[in-house]
Amino acid sequence: MRALKKRLRARYGWLPLEELRNKVMLGHTAVGLRRFERTEIQRLLATMPGGVRPQARVATVILTFKRPEGLRRAVASVLAQTMRDQVVVVMDDGGGQIPELPDDPRLHVLSLRHNINVLGVTRNIGMGLTDSPYVAFLDDDNAWLPHHLETALARLDAAQAPDAVYTAMNRILPDGTQHDILSVPFDRKLAWERCFLDSNPLVVRRTPDLHFSRLRRSSSVAPKEDWELVYRFSKRHQVEHIPEPTVDYTVNPDSYWTTWQVKA
């Protein structure tokens, strides 16, 4: 069995095989979560002004859970973008610790009716509450540099443009020092073996098949939703990497969604 698994990984890559296993083992969890996603979109949409989805060139979905100071920084970095035509949706995963945020008509702060700890579903709800040609994502422990959206959209609006781009990331340790710069050109075969795909630097054209996985993944389950989304999306859509760092990404040992091991 071990030899067979090794041959399969060599031929197909270990991440796709692990994701196939996830779908078999965790597929049943997506049924109730998809129902929850639909009902939450309906419930929260009723709280939006006029009960309609706000429109903008870009919809930015910020995911948060009990990290008020990080959320302030993330929101400030999004509202400070040089590309201002956006709607910003803060999706609280039932944590309830929302700080005072800027009074900006582009900003909408919404909370799930209870914590679910399934970031794919929470992000899907944020997308479902907006109307925009493009979508971007940010977590509450990260921040964008002011030109992030402008840099991404310059490529997405060009002739023969891809359907998604992701920029390079400055990976920052909790003490504020730089860990490294993550800049990996998109290669679907390379993605079989390496988890370099992340949603925080991603700006993507909204299409009917744009949605995150609804499987309930524990912290030990690999690969994560970010990898699954980009890898699946790239099967039918062109994805490109922009090597310019436009995201400050915190390598956070206390992350609610990701388990990090930081060397001393």
The mean predicted confidence, pLDDT, of the chain is 90
Q: What is the pLDDT of residues 140-181, one digit of tens each?
A: 999 999 999 999 999 999 999 999 999 999 999 888 888 899
In a domain, 262, yes or no: no
pLDDT given for residue 207 in this prediction: 97
What is the band of 60 on the pLDDT scale with cuts at 50, 70, 90? very high
Q: Is residue 10 part of a domain?
A: no
Q: How far is CA 244 from CA 35, 84, 143, 226, in A?
A: 39, 20, 15, 20
**Is the pLDDT reported for residue 263 higher than 60?**
no
Query: Does the pLDDT value for residue 73 go beyond 80?
Result: yes
Q: Would residue 180 count as lying in a domain?
A: yes
Q: Determine, yes or no, domain membership for 59.
A: yes
Residue 192 and residue 13 in contact, taking contact as beta carbons nearer than 8 Å: yes
Q: What is the pLDDT of residues 173-220, one digit of tens each?
A: 888 888 899 999 999 989 888 888 999 999 999 999 999 999 999 888
Confidence of residue 9 (pLDDT cuts 50, 70, 90): very low
CATH number for position 137: 3.90.550.10
pTM to 2 decimal places: 0.89
Give a yes or no: residue 3 inside a domain.
Answer: no
Asked whether the predicted pLDDT for residue 15 surpasses 50, the reply is yes
CA dist 210 → 15, 31, 36, 197 (Å): 20, 18, 18, 16
Instruction: Tell me which residue of 117, 66, 145, 119 sits closest to 226, measured CA to CA.
Output: 119
CA distance 196 to 20: 19
In the chain, the percentage of residues whose pLDDT exceeds 70 is 90
Q: Is residue 93 part of a domain?
A: yes
- The pair of structure tokens assigned to 223 is 């690969």
Does 262 have pLDDT greater than 80? Answer: no
Q: Is residue 264 part of a domain?
A: no
Q: First and final CA of the chain: distance in angstroms? A: 37
Residue 102 domain-assigned? yes
- Residues contacting residue 63 through CB under 8 Å, at least 6 positions apart: 91, 93, 119, 122, 123, 126, 137, 138, 139, 140
- Among 15-29, 51-65, 144-158, whose mean pLDDT is lowest? 15-29
- Spatial separation of the C-alpha atoms in residues 183 and 152, rounded to whole Å: 15
β-pair partners for 60: 88, 136
- Domains of the chain: total: 1
Instruction: Output the pLDDT for position 192.
Output: 83
Segments forming the whole domain that contains residue 146: 16-250
Q: Which residues 6+ apart lie within 8 Å of 170 measured at CB?
A: 178, 181, 245, 247, 248, 249
pLDDT higher for 256 or 106? Answer: 106
